[in-house]
């Protein structure tokens, strides 16, 4: 039995959820998101909660139960609060700046990296070494942050590169004479 799937998803004030068959649409202060549930899972709205249940006792229904409940929770939280990831840039001369809908990164290469910001994502740079990625779709926020981090992953000898805030970088000892 799924421990995550058993918990109901609370619907906060100001968020409306419409369930029609397998489709689900949530509308809130940040905007609207929709998703389609897999066939093996049922969702119903009772009071201010959404309850996700498996359709039957098959193995696939039980494996999808907890994941679909988490996706519904991400949908509801995304339209009410949104999601945010912080990135830190370490290294001499490494910096980032936002110009319009483009993120400009100077990461020690011979050229500047220009990353076009996708729709539904907001990127801010309070400092040249701090990048904040936010939006209402959790999967999209995580993918954009991973794409930015992939331009220069943190290396193990000096720790230079782009890392998530609070990420531990395993450091190696250099050559000895």
- Find the mean pLDDT for residues 8-37: 90
CATH number for the region 83-164 comes to: 3.90.930.12
Superfamily for 3-80? Ribosomal protein L6 (3.90.930.12)
Task: Quote the mean pLDDT of the chain.
Answer: 91
Read off the pLDDT of each residue in 141-168 and give the average, rounded to a whole number: 92
Residue 1 has pLDDT above 80, yes or no: no
Domain spans of the chain, in order of start: 3-80, 83-164
Strand, helix or coil at 115?
strand
Collapsed DSSP state (helix, strand, coil) of residue 44? strand
How many other C-beta atoms are found inside a 10 Å radius of the C-beta of residue 158?
14
Please spell the DSSP secondary structure of 63-95, one letter per residue. HHHHHHHHHHHHHHHHHHT-EEEEEEEESTT-E
**Residue 164, pLDDT score:** 94
Name the percent of the chain lying above pLDDT 70. Answer: 99
- pLDDT given at position 167: 86
């Amino acid at each position: 039995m799924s421990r995550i799937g058993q918990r109901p998803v609370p619907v906060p004030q100001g968020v409306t959820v419409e369930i029609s068959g397998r489709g689900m649409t949530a509308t809130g202060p940040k905007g609207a998101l929709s998703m389609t549930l897999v066939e093996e899972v049922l969702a119903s709205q009772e009071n201010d909660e959404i309850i996700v249940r498996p359709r039957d006792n098959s193995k696939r229904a039980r494996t999808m139960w907890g994941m679909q409940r988490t996706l519904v929770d991400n949908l509801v939280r995304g339209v009410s609060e949104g999601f945010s990831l912080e990135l830190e840039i370490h290294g001499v001369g490494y910096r980032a700046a936002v110009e319009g809908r483009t993120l400009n990164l100077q990461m020690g290469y011979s050229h500047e990296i220009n990353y076009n910001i996708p729709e539904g994502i907001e990127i801010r740079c309070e400092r040249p070494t701090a990048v904040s990625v936010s939006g209402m779709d959790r999967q999209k926020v995580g993918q954009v942050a991973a794409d930015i981090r992939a331009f220069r992953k943190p290396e193990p000898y000096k720790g230079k590169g782009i890392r998530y805030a609070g990420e531990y970088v395993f450091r190696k000892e250099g050559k000895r004479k």
